[in-house]
C-alpha cells in the first residue's frame, strides 16, 4: 500500500466530497494499485493554488489501459471511504 498526494481542482473536489465522483482517472506515472491511499489536495479552478482542504480515500478497484477505450498508461480507479480535512477558514 502506497499513499499518493495528488491535486484536484475545486469543481471535481466538490463532486468527490459529496459522493458524486467515486472514481479517479489518472496517468499511471505513480504505479497505482488497489489498496493505495489517495490524498486529494484541492486547488482553485483558475488560480491553481492550494486551498488547504484534503480528502483521503482508498482505491478499491482499478482498470488499466489499453482496454475499453482507455489509452495505454492511463487508469480508472474506483475509490471508497475517505474523510475531509478542512482548514479553519472553511469552518
Q: What is the pLDDT of residues 48-88, one digit of tens each?
A: 999 999 999 999 999 999 999 999 999 999 999 887 888 76
- pTM for the full predicted model: 0.89
Looking at residue 90, its pLDDT comes to 55
Q: Which domains does the chain have, with CATH numbers?
A: 3-90 (2.30.130.30)
Q: What is the pLDDT of residue 5?
A: 97
pLDDT tens-digit profile of 5-60?
A: 999 999 999 999 999 999 999 999 999 999 999 999 999 999 999 999 999 999 99
Contact between residue 25 and residue 76 where contact means Cβ atoms under 8 Å apart: yes
| Spatial distance between the Cα atoms of 58 and 36, rounded to a whole number of angstroms | 6
Amino acid at each position: 500500500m502506497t499513499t499518493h498526494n495528488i491535486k484536484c481542482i475545486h469543481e471535481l473536489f466538490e463532486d468527490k466530497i459529496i459522493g458524486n465522483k467515486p472514481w479517479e482517472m489518472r496517468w499511471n506515472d505513480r504505479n497505482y494499485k488497489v489498496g493505495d491511499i489517495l490524498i486529494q489536495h484541492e486547488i482553485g479552478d483558475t488560480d491553481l493554488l492550494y486551498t488547504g482542504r484534503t480528502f483521503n480515500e482508498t482505491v478499491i478497484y482499478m482498470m488499466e489501459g489499453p482496454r475499453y477505450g482507455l489509452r495505454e498508461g492511463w487508469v480508472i480507479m474506483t475509490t471508497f471511504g475517505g474523510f475531509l480535512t478542512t482548514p479553519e477558514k472553511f469552518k
